[in-house]
């Protein structure tokens, strides 16, 4: 624990959906420039954790602090300024179907930052090169690309404006091991290059250990374990052990 | 004791269901109202996304022309035949052109064009925006510092309000042409007399009231598509549901507002 | 496809305006004519001299005292009609539309706006004629041929509804 203010912190965050409590007084924080990976079983509320931090969902209780300032319930204008400091890679890449790849990657630049189209296209192609997509891809449409290429384009879109915080929602889900490894490498390269703080959620352990400096496990709406990435396989915590070993029997009810 | 409790619960259940439905209905009216206001605000205040607006104008306006044209010509022709038959019962067949023109400009032009658009445009909007919602594209847009109301909803609302009156004007013209074709080819009216009677009889308010109705209907069609798409839940099935709801609610609102507007225009005609 | 629809609509609109445009009310002067039988003459019908359209019928009403049909004719201002012209309700064929044909007279004076054509001939009742030939009943069947050289009261004839 350092004395510095964490870049992002959840304090006592509670979120309910139709009677079901998904997040139950969640406490978590990420230090600036560090990469945190949240793991947990399916449906445990990992996506909700990210969405509350982004302001896409509003928690019933608790605070979410960015650089020490609570951002829950921000008015739209302040929220938009906040968004200019983050980049998000959604689970299915969430590219806009009716726009070309470069228009997707440059979306923020063109529509929110007022960058002229020519310059925006150049910056988009640069970002595509960062994620090892050829410039020829720039004029294709998302439906023409494979899942792996779409994720890379989504990553390019997230990093093109050099954000302070990056969020990755299940970046390798649904990809073959080789592509998954490529994505993991790209993510850790980008995070290191930008010096951003990163929060990822995944249930892919290989991914977790490649991307993350620290890993936290979410269960029943709370963080039940937290530690450096290398300690994941060494801990005695029974929940973590069951998850790591992939056993059906154990404290985590299937 | 137990049977008394059970009796109370049995009578309370239908009441609870009724109450819940009523509350849900009121909540929905409120939600749609709030959505409409946000959308209207996004459409009318800067910043605008003009390229998106243009795209919607072409999609809603230009590409709906064939459907509207076909609807209008057949309706005009059928209406002419029927009014001729009706007029014949009063020995008043000669007024058929005038009645047909009145019916088309005041009622059938705007309403039928709007209904065809409800099926075509409202469904397409709901499907597109619903699919965007299901694949997190709307969330993604927000994280890219772009307000989905300004980028998606506003342009569609504006395009609906602007394009349906123009489509109705085309429908009016083609509808009268349909009646004219039937009258001159089948019913042996004189071509020039038919047209002159029509033009002499029509008042500008007949046409203008129809165009005002069309603007309201255009707003409704776009709004229902956007609202149901934006709030679609649950993946592919949710998108399908949203599409159906958009079309049905558009149609119902078109008929309801048509009656209200017609009453209003009849009593306040200049 | 949308272009086709727009083109068709524009075409019909242009055609309509050009047809209706002859009936430009600006500058036309109005005269009237009374007939014993209007037949199917309706507002908008053409008024022609020597087969050339010079105006339109703007109104057809019934004069309460004389039971004559009064037609108001809107005439092109460049066309002057002698005061003793004759107006006849005629049709293009058995089933054609009724319109007014004016035969110019020899008078040196012209009809002024608001003037009236004195010599008129009303519409011919085809079916009545046929009926009187098939069933000749002298003059007592109501004298359905409404040809009169002066506006005299004529017995109204029954018209089959389909005559146009």
Is the minimum CB–CB distance between B151 and chain A shorter than 8 Å?
yes
Query: Contact C30/C74 with Cβ under 8 angstroms?
Result: yes
Any idea of the CA torsion for B36, B37, B42, B43, to the nearest 10 degrees?
70
C70: CB partners within 8 A, 6+ apart: C32, C33, C34, C59, C60, C61, C62, C63
Task: Sort B93 into a burial class: Cβ within 10 Å, 0-12 / 13-18 / 19+.
Answer: buried
Domain carrying residue B53 = 2-267
Whether A37 maps to a domain, the answer reads: yes
Mean pLDDT of chain B: 92
Task: Give A193 or C153, the one with higher predicted confidence.
Answer: A193
The DSSP element (H or E) to which C58 belongs, if any, is strand C52-62
Report the range of poorest mean pLDDT among A184-188, B203-207, C44-48, C96-100: C96-100
In this complex, which of C5, C17, C45 lies closest to B193 when CB atoms are compared?
C45
Confidence of residue B11 (pLDDT cuts 50, 70, 90): low
Specify the pLDDT at position A35: 92
Mean pLDDT of chain C: 77
Q: How many CB pairs under 8 A join B and C?
A: 75
Q: State yes or no: pLDDT of B247 exceeds 80.
A: yes
Q: State yes or no: pLDDT of B139 exceeds 90.
A: yes
Structural domains in chain A (count): 1
Task: Give B30 or C59, the one with higher predicted confidence.
Answer: B30
Q: State yes or no: pLDDT of B7 exceeds 80.
A: no
Q: State yes or no: pLDDT of A178 exceeds 50.
A: yes
For range A119-147, the mean pLDDT = 93
- ipTM higher than the 0.95 cut: no
Q: State yes or no: pLDDT of A196 exceeds 70.
A: yes
Specify the pLDDT at position B123: 96
Q: For the residues of chain A, what is the DSSP string, one character each? A: --SSPPSEEEEEEEEEETTEEEEEEEEEEE-TT-EEEEE--TTSSHHHHHHHHHTSS--SEEEEEETTEE-TT--HHHHHHHHTTEEEE-TT----TTS-HHHHHTHHHHHTS---HHHHHHHHHHHHHHTT--GGGGGS-GGGS-HHHHHHHHHHHHHTT--SEEEEESTTTT--HHHHHHHHHHHHHHHHHHT-EEEEEES-HHHHHHH-SEEEEEETTEEEEEEEGGGTTT---HHHHHHHHT-SSSSS--
Report the range of poorest mean pLDDT among B150-154, B255-259, B264-268: B264-268
Contact C1 B66 (CB under 8 A): yes
For range A27-36, the mean pLDDT = 91
Query: Contact B160/B57 with Cβ under 8 angstroms?
Result: no
Question: What is the pTM assigned to this prediction?
Answer: 0.77
Contact C19 B192 (CB under 8 A): yes
pLDDT in tens, B92-136: 888 899 999 999 999 999 999 999 999 999 999 999 999 999 999
Q: Give the DSSP letter of residue C138.
A: T
Report the range of poorest mean pLDDT among A233-237, B15-19, B83-87, C157-161: C157-161
Q: For the residues of B176-209, what is the DSSP string, one character each? A: HHHHHHHHHHTS---HHHHHHHHHHH--HHHHHH
Touching A: which chains, 3+ CB pairs < 8 A? B
Contact B173 C19 (CB under 8 A): no
Rounded to the nearest angstrom, the minimum Cα separation between B133 and chain A is: 10
**Alpha carbon distance C99, C77 (integer Å):** 19
Specify the pLDDT at position C144: 43
**Alpha carbon distance B222, B215 (integer Å):** 11
B70: CB partners within 8 A, 6+ apart: none
Picking from B76, B58, B81, B77, the residue whose alpha carbon sits closest to that of residue B113 is B76
Q: pLDDT above 90 covers what percent of chain A?
A: 37
pLDDT in tens, B152-182: 999 999 999 999 999 999 999 999 999 999 9
Please provide residue A145's backbone torsions phi and psi, each rounded to the nearest 5 degrees.
-100, 155
Is the minimum CB–CB distance between B88 and chain C shorter than 8 Å?
yes
CATH number at residue A220: 3.40.50.300
Specify the pLDDT at position B95: 86
Q: State yes or no: pLDDT of B196 exceeds 80.
A: yes
Q: Where are the domains of chain C?
A: 24-122
Picking from A184, A186, A176, A179, the residue whose alpha carbon sits closest to that of residue A205 is A184
CB atoms near residue B260 (< 10 Å): 12
Domain carrying residue A240 = 1-82+196-254
The yes-or-no reply on A/C contact (3 CB pairs or more, < 8 Å) is: no
């Amino acid at each position: 624990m350092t004395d510095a203010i964490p870049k992002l912190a959840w304090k006592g965050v509670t979120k309910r959906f139709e009677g079901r409590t998904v997040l139950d007084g969640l406490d978590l924080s990420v230090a600036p420039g560090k990469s945190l990976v949240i793991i947990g079983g399916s449906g445990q509320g990992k996506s909700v954790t990210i969405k509350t931090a982004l302001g896409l969902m509003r928690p019933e209780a608790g605070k979410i602090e960015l650089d020490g300032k609570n951002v829950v319930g921000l008015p739209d204008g302040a929220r938009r300024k906040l968004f200019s400091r983050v980049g998000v890679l959604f689970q299915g890449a969430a590219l806009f179907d009716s726009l070309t790849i470069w228009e997707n990657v440059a979306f923020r630049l063109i529509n929110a930052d007022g960058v002229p189209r020519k310059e925006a296209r150049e910056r988009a192609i640069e970002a595509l090169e960062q994620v090892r997509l050829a410039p020829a891809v720039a004029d294709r449409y998302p439906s023409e690309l494979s899942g792996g290429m779409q994720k890379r384009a989504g990553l390019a879109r997230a990093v093109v404006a050099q954000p302070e915080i990056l969020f990755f929602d299940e970046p390798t889900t649904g990809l073959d091991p080789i592509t998954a490894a490529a994505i993991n490498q790209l993510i850790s390269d980008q995070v290191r290059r930008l010096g951003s703080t990163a929060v990822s959620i995944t249930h892919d352990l290989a991914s977790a250990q490649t991307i993350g400096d620290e890993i936290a496990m979410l269960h029943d709406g709370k963080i039940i374990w937290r530690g450096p990435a290398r300690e994941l396989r060494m801990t005695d915590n029974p929940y973590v052990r069951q998850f790591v070993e992939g056993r059906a029997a154990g404290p985590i009810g299937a | 004791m137990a049977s008394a409790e059970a009796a109370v619960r049995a009578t309370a259940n239908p009441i609870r269901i009724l109450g819940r439905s009523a509350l849900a209905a009121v909540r929905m009216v409120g939600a749609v109202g709030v959505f409409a206001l946000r959308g209207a605000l996004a459409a009318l205040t800067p910043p605008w996304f003009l390229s998106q607006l243009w795209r919607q104008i072409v999609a809603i306006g230009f590409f709906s022309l064939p459907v509207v044209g076909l609807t209008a010509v057949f309706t005009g022709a059928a209406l002419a035949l029927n009014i001729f038959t009706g007029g014949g019962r009063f020995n008043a067949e000669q007024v058929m052109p005038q009645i047909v023109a009145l019916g088309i400009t005041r009622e059938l032009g705007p309403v039928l064009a709007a209904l065809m658009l409800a099926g075509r445009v409202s469904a397409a909007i709901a499907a597109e925006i619903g699919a965007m919602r299901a694949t997190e594209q709307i969330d993604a847009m927000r994280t890219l510092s772009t307000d989905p109301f300004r980028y998606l909803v506003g342009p569609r609302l504006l395009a609906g309000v602007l394009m349906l009156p123009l489509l109705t004007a085309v429908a009016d013209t083609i509808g009268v042409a349909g009646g004219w074709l039937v009258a001159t080819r089948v019913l042996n009216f004189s071509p020039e007399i038919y047209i002159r009677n029509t033009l002499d009889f029509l008042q500008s308010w007949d046409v203008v009231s129809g165009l005002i109705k069309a603007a309201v209907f255009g707003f409704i069609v776009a709004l229902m598509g956007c609202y149901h798409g934006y709030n679609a839940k649950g993946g592919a099935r949710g998108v399908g549901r949203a599409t159906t709801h958009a079309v049905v609610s558009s149609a119902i609102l078109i008929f309801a507002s048509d009656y209200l507007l017609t009453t209003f225009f009849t009593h306040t005609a200049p | 496809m949308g272009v086709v629809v727009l083109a068709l609509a524009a075409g019909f609109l242009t055609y309509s305006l050009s047809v209706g445009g002859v009936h430009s009310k600006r500058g036309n002067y109005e005269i009237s004519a009374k007939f014993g039988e209007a037949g199917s003459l309706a507002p908008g019908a053409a008024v022609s001299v020597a087969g050339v359209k010079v105006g339109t019928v703007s109104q057809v009403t019934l004069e309460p005292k004389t039971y004559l049909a009064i037609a108001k004719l809107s005439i092109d201002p460049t066309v002057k009609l002698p005061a003793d012209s004759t107006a006849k309700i005629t049709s293009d064929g058995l089933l054609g539309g009724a319109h007014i044909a004016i035969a110019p007279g020899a008078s040196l004076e012209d009809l002024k706006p608001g003037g009236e054509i004195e010599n008129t001939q009303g519409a011919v009742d085809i079916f009545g004629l046929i009926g009187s030939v098939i069933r000749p009943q002298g003059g007592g069947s109501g004298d359905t041929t409404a040809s009169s050289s002066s506006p005299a009261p004529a017995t109204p004839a029954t018209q089959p509804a389909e005559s146009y």
